[in-house]
């Protein structure tokens, strides 16, 4: 088994990602974009790169506020592995300043033979608020919001983009995943925006499985990152 290595040259660019999302939405094709940061890497590293004693040393291991998962949780690890293999695009880090970034991604992806269909920068979510094309996409399609910040972000969409969300679902912990998926199945929407820590990685491919677009936007659901106006194009 050959190793998995991250090269910035392989990253999909934001305009291409948005065009792909729009194409999938217009053609009733499911699409999921998930992101892997240090927290997701540490969830994945359980039982392989990280032994039980290593897990206990993770500062957020018993704090679900950080990523929605408490450790150890091998079930969550296995579901992340499956989701990353199913996702249409995976955001990863290219920085090696900390072992928990690029080096750990490469280690756990190699360990579990995770070979994403396409990759992009893990912080692609922070570029979305700057893209008028993305904001126009939100005006064109019905949007479902999933996450702790969903209500605040709904106010932003209504007040500044004139977009009334098709639905809002709160999630704070891994134990809520099944209920969130069940609720989303009963709602009429086209694109789901998720801000749910590592749980978003699990949920996004599930939602995409019923011909929806599902994007893990993380902290970009905070209105403070979004401008107060929109123009016709970038």
Give alpha helix (H) positions in the chain: 14-26, 38-44, 52-56, 64-67, 74-86, 102-111, 132-140, 150-156, 177-185, 198-208
The candidate with the shortest Cα–Cα distance to 100, out of 56, 34, 52, 43, is 43
pLDDT at 90 over 90: yes
pLDDT at 91 over 90: yes
Q: For residue range 103-136, list pLDDT tens digits in order.
A: 999 999 999 999 999 999 999 999 999 999 999 9
At residue 195, the 3 state secondary structure works out as strand
Instruction: Give the span between the Cα atoms of 26 and 209, in whole angstroms.
Output: 16
Every domain of the chain and the residues it spans? 13-218
Contact in structure between 155 and 110 (CB atoms under 8 Å): no
pLDDT band at 52 (very low <50, low <70, confident <90, very high): confident
Q: For residue range 211-226, list pLDDT tens digits in order.
A: 999 999 999 999 999 9
pLDDT band at 229 (very low <50, low <70, confident <90, very high): low
């Amino acid at each position: 088994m050959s190793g998995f290595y991250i090269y910035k040259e392989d990253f999909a660019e934001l305009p291409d990602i948005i065009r792909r999302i729009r194409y999938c939405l217009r053609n009733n094709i499911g699409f999921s974009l998930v992101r892997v940061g240090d927290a997701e890497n540490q969830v994945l590293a359980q039982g392989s790169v990280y032994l039980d004693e290593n897990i206990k040393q993770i500062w957020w291991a018993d704090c679900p506020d950080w990523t929605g998962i408490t450790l150890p949780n091998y079930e969550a690890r296995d579901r992340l592995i499956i989701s990353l293999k199913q996702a249409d695009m995976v955001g990863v880090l290219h920085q090696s300043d900390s072992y928990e970034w690029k080096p750990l991604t490469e280690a756990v992806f190699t360990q579990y033979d995770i070979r994403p269909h396409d990759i992009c920068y893990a912080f692609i979510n922070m570029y979305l608020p700057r893209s008028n094309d993305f904001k126009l996409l939100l005006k064109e399609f019905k949007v479902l919001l999933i996450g702790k910040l969903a209500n605040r972000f709904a106010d932003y969409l209504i007040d500044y983009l004139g977009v009334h969300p098709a639905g809002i679902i709160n999630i704070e912990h891994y134990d809520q995943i099944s209920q969130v998926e069940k609720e989303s199945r009963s709602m009429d929407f086209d694109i789901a925006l998720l801000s749910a820590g590592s749980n978003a990685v699990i949920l996004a491919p599930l939602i995409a499985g019923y011909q929806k677009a599902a994007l893990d936007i993380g902290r970009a659901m905070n209105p403070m990152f979004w401008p107060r106006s929109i123009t016709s194009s970038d």
